[in-house]
C-alpha cells in the first residue's frame, strides 16, 4: 500500500489548473523526499493509501467529474479508516493574489473541528506571512459607520447547504431591527444575488461592483459573515466580527449573537492569529517535505 496518493486527477479543467497542479506536485515531491511511498495519481481512479491528498473539498451544489472524484476519495478514505488531506485557499487571499500561502489539514476543511496541527503556535509563521504579504494587525476599531454583510458563493462547501439568499435576507432584516446604521451588502465576486426582496428597508445598499474587501471594511462599524475566510480581513483591520456559523475561521474572535451589534466584543487576537498563520504553507515548504514532516506523527 502507498503511504501517500496525491490526486492530480481531482482538479477541474480551468485556467488556473497549471498552478493547482504545481501545488499537488510540490507536496508529492516533498513527501517522497521524506521517504514516503508516493503515487501522483493523474487518472480518475481510487487508490488505497494511508494519506490521500486533494485540492479543495466538496460542496452541495457545485457539480463536475472532479467534484465526484473528490467525494469518492473522501468516502474511500473514511471507509478504509485512512486519512484525507485537503489543501484549501489562503485565509489571507484578500492580499495574497497569487496564493503564495495555502492551508493544509487532516480529516476535513472546517477550521474549528478538523486537524491543522497548529494549536499553541508561536509567532514565527505570522511573522513570515506579514512580511511577505505586507500585513499588519490593526487595533480594534472603536468607531465606525456602516455594518458590512459579506456574502459567499452559494453551494460552496463552507455554506454547508445553507441557502445564501435566505441567510442574507434573514440577517439583514434582523440587523435592521437592531440598529439604525447603514447596512452595506457585499456580494461574492462569483455569485451575485437579487436583493429586491429587501427594497422595503431603508439604509440598505449593495457594495459597488468592483470594490475590494478592504475598501468595504474602511469605516465599517462591524462586519457580518456566515462562514467565510473574508472574516480574517475584518479581524486584522480591527473591525468587530459577527459570525453565525460555528465553523467560521474567525468564530473565536467573533460575536455569535447579532443582538450585540451595538456593543460588540473585541477579544485578544494574537494567539488566534499565530495558530491561523501556522496552518498556512508555501509551495517551497511543501516541496522540501516540511508539511509532510509536520503532520507525520498524526498520519
Q: Please give the Cα distance from 225 to 73 (Å, whole number).
A: 30
Three-class SS of residue 84? Answer: strand
Question: What domains can you pick out in the chain, each with its CATH number?
Answer: 2-132+276-298 (no CATH), 146-268 (3.40.50.2000)
The residues that bridge with 184 in the sheet, in sequence order, are 148, 205
Burial per residue of 10-37, b for 16 or more beta-carbon CB atoms within 10 angstroms, e otherwise: bbeeeeeeeebeebbbbbbbbbbebebe
- Confidence at residue 15, expressed as pLDDT on a 0 to 100 scale: 55
* Residue-wise pLDDT tens digits, 57-101: 887 666 678 888 999 999 999 999 999 999 999 999 999 988 899
- Confidence at residue 156, expressed as pLDDT on a 0 to 100 scale: 66
1 pLDDT band (50/70/90 cuts)? confident
Among all chains, which residue has been given the C-alpha cell 479508516?
81
Three-class SS of residue 272? Answer: helix
Is 5 in contact with 49 (CB distance < 8 Å)?
A: yes
Largest CA distance in the chain: 63
Is 182 in contact with 146 (CB distance < 8 Å)?
A: yes
pTM of the model: 0.91
* Residue-wise pLDDT tens digits, 177-225: 999 999 999 987 766 777 788 888 888 998 876 788 999 999 999 999 9
Mean pLDDT for the stretch of residues 131-147: 94
Q: Are strands 102-104 and 83-88 parallel, antiparallel or unpaired?
A: antiparallel
* Residue-wise pLDDT tens digits, 8-55: 998 877 656 788 899 999 999 999 999 999 999 998 899 999 999 999
Q: Please give the Cα distance from 132 to 90 (Å, whole number).
A: 13
* Residue-wise pLDDT tens digits, 154-185: 666 666 667 888 899 999 999 999 999 999 99
Is 286 in contact with 26 (CB distance < 8 Å)?
A: yes
Amino acid at each position: 500500500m502507498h503511504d501517500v496518493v496525491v490526486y492530480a486527477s481531482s482538479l477541474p479543467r480551468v485556467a488556473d489548473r497549471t498552478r493547482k497542479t504545481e501545488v499537488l506536485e510540490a507536496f508529492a515531491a516533498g513527501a517522497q523526499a521524506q521517504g514516503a511511498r508516493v503515487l501522483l495519481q493523474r487518472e480518475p481512479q481510487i487508490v488505497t493509501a494511508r494519506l490521500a491528498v486533494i485540492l479543495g473539498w466538496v460542496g452541495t451544489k457545485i457539480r463536475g467529474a472532479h467534484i465526484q472524484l473528490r467525494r469518492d476519495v473522501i468516502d474511500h478514505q473514511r471507509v478504509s479508516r485512512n486519512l484525507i488531506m485537503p489543501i484549501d485557499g489562503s485565509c489571507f487571499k484578500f492580499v495574497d493574489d497569487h496564493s503564495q500561502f495555502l492551508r493544509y489539514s487532516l480529516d476535513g476543511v472546517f477550521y474549528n473541528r478538523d486537524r491543522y496541527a497548529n494549536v499553541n503556535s508561536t509567532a514565527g509563521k505570522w511573522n513570515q506571512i506579514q512580511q511577505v504579504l505586507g500585513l499588519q494587525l490593526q487595533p480594534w476599531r472603536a468607531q465606525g459607520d456602516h455594518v458590512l454583510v459579506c456574502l459567499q458563493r452559494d453551494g460552496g462547501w463552507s455554506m454547508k447547504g445553507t441557502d445564501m439568499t435566505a441567510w442574507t435576507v434573514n440577517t439583514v432584516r434582523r440587523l435592521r431591527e437592531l440598529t439604525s446604521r447603514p447596512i452595506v451588502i457585499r456580494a461574492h465576486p462569483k455569485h451575485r444575488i437579487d436583493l429586491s426582496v429587501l427594497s422595503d428597508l431603508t439604509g440598505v445598499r449593495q457594495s459597488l461592483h468592483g470594490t475590494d474587501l478592504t475598501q468595504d471594511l474602511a469605516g465599517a462599524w462591524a462586519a457580518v459573515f456566515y462562514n467565510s475566510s473574508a472574516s480574517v480581513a475584518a479581524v486584522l483591520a480591527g473591525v468587530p466580527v459577527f459570525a453565525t456559523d460555528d465553523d467560521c475561521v474567525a468564530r473565536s474572535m467573533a460575536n455569535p449573537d447579532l443582538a450585540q451589534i451595538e456593543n460588540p466584543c473585541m477579544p485578544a487576537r494574537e494567539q488566534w492569529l499565530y495558530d491561523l498563520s501556522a496552518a498556512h504553507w508555501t509551495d517551497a515548504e511543501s516541496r522540501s517535505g516540511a508539511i509532510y514532516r509536520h503532520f507525520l506523527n498524526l498520519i
